[in-house]
Amino acid sequence: MSSSVQVAPTRMSLTIYKTKRVGAKKGFELLKKKADALKMRFQAMLREIQKTKTAMSHEAAEAFFSLTQAQYAAGDFRNKVIESVTTAEIRMRNRIDNVAGVKLPVFTEVEVSRDKSDNIGLSGGGGKIQLCREKFRTLLSALIKLASLQTSFLTLDEALKVTNRRVNALDNVTIPRIETTISYISRELDELEREDFVRIKKVQANKILQQKQEILNKNAQQKTPTDITEVLVHSGGIPNNTFNPFDQDDSFGNVASDRDIMAPYEIAADVDIIF
């Protein structure tokens, strides 16, 4: 598995690498289709080359056999042929064939003019010479076709190798590395999100505690003297039966309560006093 790329784990980096992953997968699909198209053309061209070579071997045998027959019938006519030829009868034209973006050279045969050497061998063996001439013309056409196929075959083979290397690189290196990087960034972002969540919860808890403490302090500052007395009574600072000057009668606002102010002294009188 390919190692991830060293990158900062941010949302922007995650978006960038997700975009790269989409582009890499799209490029992989296109290159895969291109490789399949080139492979089909490669196999078809290979079959055509084998077929052309097989046919050419038979045509070459017939052409040279007809040459032997012509030489036997008309003698050595090589010098006469050379003297009669002024221009090339057949020329070759080069064009470019595009296959899945790959430019393949294709050679085509172009007949310029007929050679005026029909009078060769009129004295004897003229028919054999013309037959030899046609056989070699057919052989030349087969050679041009074979040269075109082999040249295109070599170009196509090189393009197919390059395309396959790119497909393998995308499938085995680039896409897995991007996937690993995306997984790493996602894990880091999840961890940061959990840390932020815990941090926020702690801040909220501290804030709630602070608010409660402020409320308690505020309530303590706002307590009345009656509340303070009640606190002292409950704590044992003032007896419950002791006169409290802050207690007021419910029916009379300026009259002390019905609490017996002599109760402490009466309790003390019950004790025997020794002089």
pLDDT single digits (tens) 131-184: 888 888 889 888 999 999 999 999 999 999 999 999 999 999 999 999 999 999
Cβ atoms of residues 144 and 92 within 8 Å: yes
What average pLDDT score do residues 20-47 get? 92
22-26, 70-74, 98-102, 122-126: range with lowest mean pLDDT: 122-126
pLDDT at 254: 46
The answer for 27, left when phi > 0, alpha when psi is -120 to 50, beta otherwise, is: alpha
Map tokens 């501290």 to a residue: 206
pLDDT at 216: 86
- What domains lie within the chain, and their CATH numbers? 11-191 (1.10.287.3240), 228-269 (no CATH)
78 has a pLDDT exceeding 80: no
Residue 275: which pLDDT band, with cuts at 50, 70 and 90? very low
Q: Select from 31, 26, 33 the least CA-distant residue to 165.
A: 31
* DSSP annotation string for the chain: -PPPP-----HHHHHHHHHHHHHHHHHHHHHHHHHHHHHHHHHHHHHHHHHHHHHHHHHHHHHHHHHHHHHHHH---HHHHHHH--S-SEEEEEEEEEETTEEEEEEEEEE----S-TTTTTTTTHHHHHHHHHHHHHHHHHHHHHHHHHHHHHHHHHHHHHHHHHHHHIIIIIHHHHHHHHHHHHHHHHHHHHHHHHHHHHHHHHHHHHHHHHHHHHHHHT--HHHHHHHHHHHTSS-TTS--TT-B-SS-TTSB-S--TTHHHHHHHTSPP--
Average pLDDT score over the chain: 78
Cβ atoms of residues 93 and 113 within 8 Å: no
Residue 223: which pLDDT band, with cuts at 50, 70 and 90? low
pLDDT at 273: 44
pLDDT at 255: 44
Burial of 132 (0-12, 13-18, 19+ CB in 10 A): buried
Cα distances (Å, whole numbers) of residue 4 to 16, 56, 127, 174, 248: 14, 56, 79, 10, 83
Q: What is the pTM of this model?
A: 0.60
